[in-house]
Amino acid sequence: MKWQDKTRGGYPVRIYAEDGLGQQKYHGAIYEADYWHPSSWNEDGSNYTTEERYDLIPIEPERPELPEKCEVLPTEGLTEDMLVAPMMVEFIRQQADRFNSLRDYVAWLTERVEEKSDA
């Protein structure tokens, strides 16, 4: 997971490691009173001190844009020469781009649903 560069209380934060053992998965430091204080956080971003002002704030992934409606490529009656024509190749490339955009959106949506069900 990605975290904002400030804690819930507005303190600057640095994350040094994301593979800590035990409950404190994240290790780093919080800048407070002109000094970087070492700290660690649980997997959900809560600080080991249980003070909410030191909790990490997750960065929400941007929702991909939904693609325009993809057209169906009619192949009946098309010869191989027609399929490799520059116009047809461009059409197929555009449809593939729209499909990839839709795939990214579905992946994003699936992550949100899984996060909600885990909570």
Reported as a single tens digit per residue, the pLDDT across 31-69 is 999 999 999 999 999 999 888 999 999 998 776 665 555
What would the pLDDT profile of 85-111 be if each residue is shown by its tens digit? 666 667 767 777 777 777 777 777 778
What's the CA gap between 112 and 98, in Å, rounded? 21
pLDDT in tens, 59-92: 987 766 655 554 555 556 666 565 556 666 677 6
Question: What percentage of the chain carries pLDDT values higher than 70?
Answer: 75
Is the pLDDT assigned to residue 11 strictly greater than 80? yes
How far is 74 from 11, CA to CA, in rounded Å?
Answer: 58
Answer yes or no: is pLDDT of 29 > 90: yes
Query: Distance between CA 40 and CA 14 in Å, rounded?
Result: 10
Length of the chain counted residue by residue:
119
Q: What are phi and psi of 115, to 5 degrees?
A: -60, -45
Q: How far, in Å, CA of 20 to CA of 28, rounded?
A: 11
